[in-house]
Structure 1
Amino acid sequence: MSEPQDRQLSRGALIALVVGSMIGAGIFTLPAAFARSTGALGALIAWAIAGSGMLMLAFVFQNLSRRKPELDAGIYAYAKAGFGNYLGFSSAFGYWIACCLADVACLILIKATLGQFWTAFGDGSTPLAILSASLIVWAVHLLVLRGVKEAAALNTIATVAKLVPIAIFVWVVIAGFNADVFALNFWGGDAGTSGSLSSVASQVRQTMLVTVFVFVGIEGASVYSRYAKDRNDVGIATVLGFLGVLCLLVLVTVFSYGILLRPDLAALATPSMAGVMEAIVGPWGRVFVSIGLLISIAGNYLSWSLLAAEVLHSAAKNDTMPKRLARENKNGVPYVALWLTNLVIQLFLLVTWFAEHAFTVALKMTSAMTLLPYLLVAAYGFKLARSGEAYAPDEPGRRRDAWVAALAALYAAAMLIAGGAKFLLLAALLYAPGSWLYFYARREQGLHVFTPAEKFVFGTLCLAASAGLYALLSGALTI
């Protein structure tokens, strides 16, 4: 069922949701994040791999929005339609937790940025930082309760505002680009001559989970497809938003290698984009980028808050989450889902007090929790193309769609493996207890909880969660 006209979103607003969701904390940390692991060549290869993989995923979202317009909950609905109730729930739950963690990463980086000017905020996980971040959580909560369309309009304004300082940064680094410095940084060795193709391959592997984080949000238009004035705009917004953000990510990363030598670049404090700007124009550059970062992350936080509540709400309306999560207020806002979302964000904020590297953990956990939903979406696209469902007989694009979906699924699976066992175990520690929401929803409807295949999936998940808990308690695994 479509939304009332006064709540519908234009193509521009959908593109802003995609861009606003993707551009946030990650882009401001890229220069140092990449320099710690690789040189310019490795960065180019990493972006080529990540960009190609995520472009395939963007095409899958675009294709599914046309082939299955009735599935208007996006990333969750595709998993349920393709692989059943429990994996559909897991996709919704995993994506929701990823949204919550992304919001936590935003809040930490806001306070870490302020910590460069006021030491009481420290690295973003001090008591004052957590208290002030909590105030932001509940202030945004009150804002979103006023209405999704109003919040989305504010998100569009924030998206435009945060693109301006990033565009100025790109222009400045291009103007200040030093080809000799870039050449020394090309292979990733300190002197520019110690690299080899084998060492570059190792460098690329170390950067891949970072690239996943900055692409999270590509599905923003798909999640909000029920609000679109024209369903065709969903796929267009996804691809256009992705391509625009990819260009910015590559420019910010690669041209920074022409400003500072790699060891100096790697040593920059968060946000490292501010350090690069300072190296070119002086101290005011750090202040300028820091202000731009605060605007950017504020908009990014709002985008994730909207997405998180919407996923819970959509899943509840489709009988995969408890029914009460589908309740809306007079403004059409899923207020119960919003309350649960912000309570979880608040809990994660308190946990950051005990984390050694809170921002890095939040960043990588966001990536790990998002990859399973991405994998299931790509697998559904492949299943649809292979079976011919929603395709005309002998339709020529069917084989192409199958290959695109297969490549997207392969990319998501490879990223899960590249992330390492630590983040898979931590993800299992969230998925396993989160399944209580699924049990509650099934019992609420008087249905059997699991099919035999789903019992196997849940049992495997519980074993992984048990291993993760044991490793955490024994000290073998740290947050």
Structure 2
Amino acid sequence: MSSAETGSAPAEPAGGGPSTAAKLSLLTLTMMVVGSMVGAGVFSLPRRFAQETGVAGALIAWGIAGTGMLMLAFVFQTLAVRKPDLDAGVYAYAKAGFGEYLGFFSAFGYWASACVGNVTYWVLIMSTIGAIAPALGDGDTVLAVVLSSFGLWGFFFLIRRGVKEAAAINRIVTIAKIVPILVFVLIALFYFKASVFADNFAGADYAGSLFQQVKGTMLATVFVFLGVEGASVYSRHAKRREDVGRATVLGFLSVFSVFASVTIVSYGLLPMGEIAELRQPSMAGVLEAAVGTWGKVFVSVGLIVSVLGAYLAWSLMAAEVLFVAAKDQDMPRFLGRVSAADVPVPAMVMTTVLSQVVLVVTYFSDDAFNFALDLTSALTLIPFLLAAGYALKISVVRDPLTGRREGRGTELLVASLATVYTAFLLYAAGLKFVLVSFIIYAPATVLFVMARREQGRKLFSPAELVILAVSIAGAVLGVIALAVGWISL
């Protein structure tokens, strides 16, 4: 959707004239969803689940996650149709429902989660190569950080060439990376051992109660489903508005079946205790146990292709959120500039810089990959909760003219389930990641203040001051908790 349609000022490309947003088809939008969801997470699923639960807990966890995320997918589909004037979905819905400051936090949190998620891709690539190049370790050595940094900035210059070209590359890569995952599932079914599967059904001694097992997998499922909102975030480029919702649901259903299959079939190849000890990407270790070294190599190559494609998709979406927030005057003006190729270059620079900072931080983490993965999930939960809450709000509020509710009964049910699910995920994330999220959220208010000053507006309303106080208190508590060792990275 063009800037004229949204009521904002037209973007000014580097060349001087107004830009024209590249228009994407249903297939390309669906590939954006699939491409952003199928990344590092799927290749780490066997170990992540085996560390927490057995087959029974995994089935329950996927049932909860699948239902909850499907409700979120329906929420984005409904909002795309009911609120066609709102672009960059997650951020725009939070702002419309709960005000500018929470909308700003939603935009920043979603953007920051994408930047942190991008780091997991490079960590996993280096860990994969580290199996044959020990100097890269588990993706957390100095050499790994340096090489990953080259990758970060290399992709920045690729994306700078143009949105349309980057989206086309993503479509090709998405098809290429799905193939090895499907092959893994088929081979795993061929070598499936019913006795091993049965032994893994209830979970190992270290797994705890069934509730604890399911709770322990929740952040992992959030991470692999990040991207379900991809078409909504990129809605201004859709040829037809209704394609945004269709792409969201089609992409989700396709990927959910793949993710659940990868997890469950792995329990039929190795005892869960052995899977829990595998090096990441654990999918490679599982297949190696079944067919030998070539299986490990096959999955590792597929992972690198998959991760690079997901990194491309997420970099595009992260920059898009900053760009649209700036055009809506919720971020500083400089983030609303685009090049002649319709690329928000300042937003891309900021995205790459934050990813670079987080990449350096992972060097000091005890478990770089899992830390980045869980932090990505935690940062995303607030934006998801606000989007679901907005859908719930418009489903129950009555139109002042007709006296009727805007939403139908089904929409109310879907929005209610999506809201409860995301609230449960915040509980499952635990205090550690909530506090670390505050440490990231609170300083971001500087950007909000910059935007308000550019417009000559009052910096904060009384309600916004309360939100500011809560975020600062959470950040201070988080810093203290890190300093005294209550929590660790």
Shorter-chain TM-score category? over 0.9
Amino acid of the structure 2 residue aligned with 1:421: L
Establish whether residue 306 from structure 1 lines up as the match of residue 316 from structure 2. Answer: yes
2:399, 2:406 within 8 Å by CA — same for their partners in 1? no
Query: Of 160, 171, 175, which aligns to 1:145?
Result: 160
Q: Which residue of 2 aligns with 1:402?
A: 412
Matches within 5 A, 1:6-85: 7-85=22-100
Q: Secondary structure at the match of 2:435?
A: helix
Query: Of 191, 194, 204, which aligns to 2:214?
Result: 204
1:130, 1:349 within 8 Å by CA — same for their partners in 2? yes
Q: Secondary structure at the match of 2:339?
A: coil
Establish whether residue 233 from structure 1 lines up as the match of residue 210 from structure 2. Answer: no
Amino acid of the structure 2 residue aligned with 1:405: A
Matches within 5 A, 1:70-469: 70-189=85-204, 199-388=209-398, 398-469=408-479
1:9, 1:227 within 8 Å by CA — same for their partners in 2? yes
Amino acid of the structure 1 residue aligned with 2:355: I
Q: Displacement of 1:189 after TM fit?
A: 2.9
2:21, 2:236 within 8 Å by CA — same for their partners in 1? no
Amino acid of the structure 1 residue aligned with 2:126: K
Q: Displacement of 1:476 after TM fit?
A: 2.1
Q: Which residue of 2 aligns with 1:472?
A: 482
Name the CA distance, whole Å, in 2 between partners of 1:391 and 1:105: 50
Name the CA distance, whole Å, in 2 between partners of 1:202 and 1:468: 25
Amino acid of the structure 2 residue aligned with 1:11: L
Structure 1 runs of 4+ with >6 Å offset: 3-6, 390-393
Pick closer, same or farther for the CA change 1:402–1:269 going to 2, 3 Å. same
Name the CA distance, whole Å, in 1 between partners of 2:416 and 2:37: 24
Name the CA distance, whole Å, in 1 between partners of 2:276 and 2:319: 36
1:25, 1:297 within 8 Å by CA — same for their partners in 2? yes
1:40, 1:254 within 8 Å by CA — same for their partners in 2? yes
Q: Which residue of 2 aligns with 1:2?
A: 2
Name the CA distance, whole Å, in 1 between partners of 2:22 and 2:400: 29
Name the CA distance, whole Å, in 2 between partners of 1:385 and 1:157: 39
Where structure 2 has 5 or more consecutive residues not aligned to the other structure, the ranges are: 4-18
Question: Deviations 1:12-45 (Å, cap 9, x if unpaired)?
Answer: 1100111111111100011111011100000000
Name the CA distance, whole Å, in 2 between partners of 1:168 and 1:214: 19
Q: Secondary structure at the match of 1:420?
A: helix
Q: Displacement of 1:397 after TM fit?
A: 6.0
Pick closer, same or farther for the CA change 1:391–1:19 going to 2, 3 Å. farther
Name the CA distance, whole Å, in 2 between partners of 1:441 and 1:6: 24
Name the CA distance, whole Å, in 1 between partners of 2:62 and 2:108: 28
Instruction: Tell me the percent identity.
Output: 52
Amino acid of the structure 1 residue aligned with 2:145: I
Q: Displacement of 1:395 after TM fit?
A: 7.6
Name the CA distance, whole Å, in 2 between partners of 1:435 and 1:355: 26
Question: Deviations 1:321-360 (Å, cap 9, x if unpaired)?
Answer: 0011000111110001111111111111111111111111
Where structure 1 has 5 or more consecutive residues not aligned to the other structure, the ranges are: none
2:126, 2:139 within 8 Å by CA — same for their partners in 1? yes
Amino acid of the structure 2 residue aligned with 1:296: S
1:385, 1:391 within 8 Å by CA — same for their partners in 2? no
Name the CA distance, whole Å, in 2 between partners of 1:208 and 1:382: 23
Name the CA distance, whole Å, in 2 between partners of 1:241 and 1:83: 28
Amino acid of the structure 1 residue aligned with 2:130: G
Q: Displacement of 1:2 after TM fit?
A: 2.7
2:399, 2:405 within 8 Å by CA — same for their partners in 1? no
Pick closer, same or farther for the CA change 1:435–1:327 going to 2, 3 Å. same
2:396, 2:407 within 8 Å by CA — same for their partners in 1? no
2:88, 2:235 within 8 Å by CA — same for their partners in 1? yes
Name the CA distance, whole Å, in 2 between partners of 1:341 and 1:390: 42
Name the CA distance, whole Å, in 1 between partners of 2:406 and 2:352: 46
TM-score by length of 2: 0.94
Pick closer, same or farther for the CA change 1:452–1:395 going to 2, 3 Å. closer
Amino acid of the structure 1 residue aligned with 2:224: V
Name the CA distance, whole Å, in 2 between partners of 1:18 and 1:355: 30
Q: How many residues align?
A: 474
Name the CA distance, whole Å, in 1 between partners of 2:269 and 2:243: 39
Q: Secondary structure at the match of 2:203?
A: coil
2:396, 2:405 within 8 Å by CA — same for their partners in 1? no
Q: Secondary structure at the match of 2:408?
A: helix
Q: Displacement of 1:477 after TM fit?
A: 2.0
Name the CA distance, whole Å, in 2 between partners of 1:215 and 1:389: 34
Name the CA distance, whole Å, in 2 between partners of 1:292 and 1:376: 35
Q: Displacement of 1:96 after TM fit?
A: 0.4
Question: Alignment RMSD, CA only?
Answer: 1.7
Name the CA distance, whole Å, in 1 between partners of 2:38 and 2:456: 43
1:67, 1:390 within 8 Å by CA — same for their partners in 2? no
2:398, 2:406 within 8 Å by CA — same for their partners in 1? no
Name the CA distance, whole Å, in 2 between partners of 1:338 and 1:94: 16
Name the CA distance, whole Å, in 1 between partners of 2:330 and 2:396: 27
Name the CA distance, whole Å, in 2 between partners of 1:385 and 1:35: 39
Q: Displacement of 1:396 after TM fit?
A: 9.8
Q: Secondary structure at the match of 2:227?
A: coil
